[in-house]
């Protein structure tokens, strides 16, 4: 059965107290909307329709950067959830299949939950609602079941009676229905409620009035967490990280101190990798099986190959490609560079816009000077080359295979294969001059000169 997804993302999120639209706030190094889109993609929808409102242009741009094939409609007036879904109706006029309604500010929904909703739809229910047992139901809408376990109605807390408020089965807001049925039910939704809005929840009572079967499936409450405030965002981050850590360990990754490791939405870590304490993954990072990540590292936009050893205190920036069995050590930063198999940069080094050849060694304190103030330039270090400590490689420059650069050199010209490059002033020793200078300086200080 074809599937379409309607993703509601029109809300302003006033409680976030921010100029940024709510669903663009980052969670696990990705905007909230990216999480909802990731869950939707797992259904392989025939079409995905994004309903925007507040900050429509920014929201659309961010969403299209994730899914260029989105269909986008705008809810110019905020008249309720049913009204928001109705904005997507023109994009579904020729669609025959199931429709799933998701929310951009509900980032923790699992694809398995959405698949269970669709399976229940396929089992005969005209409408399927996702519910959860709330520890503290509070202002959640209540799901009222009939004698046979079917859903009779959804009552918003502000419209509920005391007996209905005692119900702990609550509405997540997510819904699945046949497209034709949903269009017909939405056309009948009115505004007879405390807020005078078009509630999507009213489709349940309308469906029951037509004699249609309405079912509820449930998921853990944590999965339905909506983000409406900074506190909610922090809670969602904590929940995401707890889930990501558990999944990583279940998949064979060693986390020596799980609570201090932070993953991004798209982090990929292979089996038998080891990750030490206080490691943070930004977006677009892949770590292959068997890699070892030592404590206090930060990664983004990089690839770490099998058997590589990184850290401690290393930073890999976008475009860093670390090959098998390479070594990136403490206080080493790599950006837009390839460090080939077995190469090493073990201490206090910056490698930017460079290739470090197979088995090469980059000594402590080496700096690749890749930026001239306007343009970036590349540096090529050949296989087996040895770069002495405290060297500056002024790009564009190349060091040939097997070449040796003496410590303290400033290299501005290419070094041929196998050559020794020495690019520093000749040392001169002036007998006793150092002692005389220091004595003079101490006398000045004693005399009050600062």
Cα 292 to Cα 78: distance, rounded to the nearest angstrom: 50
Q: How confident is the model at residue 437 (pLDDT cuts 50, 70, 90)?
A: very high
Q: Strand (E) positions, 168-293? A: 169-178, 214-218, 254-255, 268-269, 274-275, 279-281, 286-287, 292-293
Sequence-separated (6 or more) residues with CB below 8 Å from residue 225? 106, 107, 108, 232, 235, 236, 239
**CATH class of this structure's domain 230-421:** mainly beta
Predicted pLDDT of residue 244: 98
Residue range 116-138: mean pLDDT, rounded: 95
> Alpha-carbon dihedral of residues 200, 202, 205, 207, nearest 10 degrees?
-40
CATH class of 3-224: alpha beta
Q: Which helix (H) or strand (E) holds 82?
A: helix 81-87
Does residue 133 carry a pLDDT above 90? yes
Domain extent listing, the chain: 3-224, 230-421
Residue 213: Cβ within 10 Å count: 16
pLDDT for 159 equals 87
pLDDT tens-place string over residues 59-92:
999 999 999 999 999 999 888 999 999 999 999 9
Distance CA 309, CA 319 (A): 18
Do 238 and 263 meet the contact criterion of CB atoms below 8 Å apart? Answer: no
Q: Quick one: average pLDDT of 94-114?
A: 96
Q: Looking at residue 245, what is its pLDDT?
A: 98
The predicted structure's pLDDT at residue 77:
87
Here the tokens at position 266 are: 């798209």
* 303 is annotated as an active-site residue: no
Separation between Cα atoms, residue 27 and residue 25, nearest integer Å: 7
| pTM given for the model | 0.91
Rounded to the nearest 5°, which phi and psi values hold at 437?
-65, -45
CB half-sphere exposure, 223, CA atoms < 13 A: 21
- In a 3-state reduction of DSSP, which class is residue 202? helix
Q: What six digits make up the tokens of 386?
A: 């040895």
Rounded CA Rg of the chain = 30
Residues in the chain: 450
Q: Rounded distance, CA 158 to CA 144, Å? A: 15
State how far the Cα of 337 lies from the Cα of 316, in Å rounded to an integer. Answer: 10
Question: With pLDDT > 70 as the criterion, what percentage of the chain qualifies?
Answer: 100
Among 186, 236, 276, smallest CA distance to 30 is for 236
pLDDT (0 to 100) of residue 12: 82
Say if CB 386 and CB 406 are below 8 A apart.
no
Calpha distance 398→335 (Å, rounded): 17
Bridge partners of residue 47, in order along the sequence? 4
| Residue 258: φ, ψ to 5° | -55, -40
HSE of 152, CA atoms in CB hemisphere, 13 A: 9
- Mean pLDDT estimate for the chain: 95
Determine how many CB atoms are found less than 10 A away from the CB of residue 97.
16
| Tens digits of residue pLDDT in 387-436 | 999 999 999 999 999 999 999 999 999 999 999 999 998 889 999 999 99
- Round to whole Å and give the CA distance between 440 and 450: 13
* 35, 54, 347, 450: the active-site residue: 347
Give the mean model confidence (pLDDT) for residues 219-240: 96
pLDDT tens-digit readout, 293-344 = 999 999 999 999 999 999 999 999 999 999 999 999 999 999 999 999 999 9
**Which SS3 state, helix, strand or coil, does residue 176 take?**
strand
Q: What are phi and psi of 171, to 5 degrees?
A: -95, 130
Over residues 154-211, the pLDDT tens digits come to: 998 888 999 999 999 999 999 999 999 999 999 999 888 778 889 898 999 999 999 9
Q: Is the pLDDT of residue 450 over 80?
A: no
Is the pLDDT at 148 greater than 90? The verdict is: no
With the C-alpha atoms ordered 85, 88, 90, 93, is the resulting torsion angle positive or negative?
Answer: negative
């Amino acid at each position: 059965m074809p599937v379409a997804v309607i993703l509601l993302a029109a809300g302003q999120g006033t409680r976030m107290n921010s100029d940024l639209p709510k669903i663009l706030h980052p969670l696990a190094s990705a905007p909230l909307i990216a999480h909802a889109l990731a869950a939707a993609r797992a259904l392989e929808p025939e079409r995905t329709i994004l309903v925007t409102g507040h900050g429509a242009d920014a929201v659309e741009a961010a969403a299209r950067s994730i899914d260029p094939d989105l269909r986008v409609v705008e809810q110019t007036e905020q008249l309720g959830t049913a009204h928001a879904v109705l904005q997507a109706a023109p994009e579904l006029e020729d669609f025959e299949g199931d429709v799933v309604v998701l929310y951009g500010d509900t980032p923790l929904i699992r694809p398995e939950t959405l698949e269970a909703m669709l399976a229940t739809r396929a089992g005969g229910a005209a409408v399927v609602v996702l519910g959860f047992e709330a520890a503290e139901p509070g202002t959640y809408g209540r799901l009222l079941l009939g004698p046979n376990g079917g859903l009779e109605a959804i009552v918003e807390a502000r419209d509920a009676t005391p007996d209905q408020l005692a119900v702990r089965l609550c509405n997540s807001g997510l819904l699945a229905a046949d497209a034709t049925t949903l269009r017909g039910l939405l056309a009948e939704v009115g505004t007879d409620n405390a807020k005078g809005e078009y509630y999507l929840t009213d489709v349940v009572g309308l469906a029951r009035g037509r004699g249609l079967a309405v079912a509820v499936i449930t998921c853990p409450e944590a999965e339905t967490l909506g983000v409406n405030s900074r506190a909610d965002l922090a809670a969602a981050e904590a929940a995401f990280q707890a889930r990501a850590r558990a999944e990583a360990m279940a998949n064979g990754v060693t986390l020596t101190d799980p609570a201090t490791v932070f993953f991004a939405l798209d982090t990929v870590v292979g089996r038998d990798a080891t990750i030490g304490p206080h490691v943070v993954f930004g977006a677009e990072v892949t770590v292959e099986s068997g890699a070892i990540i030592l404590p206090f590292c930060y990664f983004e936009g990089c690839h770490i190959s099998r058997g590589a050893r990184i850290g401690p205190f290393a930073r890999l920036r976008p475009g860093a490609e670390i090959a098998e069995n390479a070594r990136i050590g403490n206080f080493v930063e790599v950006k837009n560079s390839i460090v080939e198999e077995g190469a090493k940069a073990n201490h206090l080094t910056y490698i930017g816009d460079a290739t470090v050849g197979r088995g090469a060694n980059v000594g402590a304190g080496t700096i690749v000077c890749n930026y001239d103030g306007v343009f970036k330039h590349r540096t090529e270090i050949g296989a087996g080359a040895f770069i002495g400590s405290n060297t500056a490689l002024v790009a564009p420059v190349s060091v040939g295979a097997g070449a040796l650069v003496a410590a303290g050199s400033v290299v501005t010209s290419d070094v041929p294969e196998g050559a020794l490059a020495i690019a520093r002033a000749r040392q001169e020793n002036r007998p006793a001059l150092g002692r005389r200078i220091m004595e003079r300086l101490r006398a000045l200080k004693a005399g009050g000169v600062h």
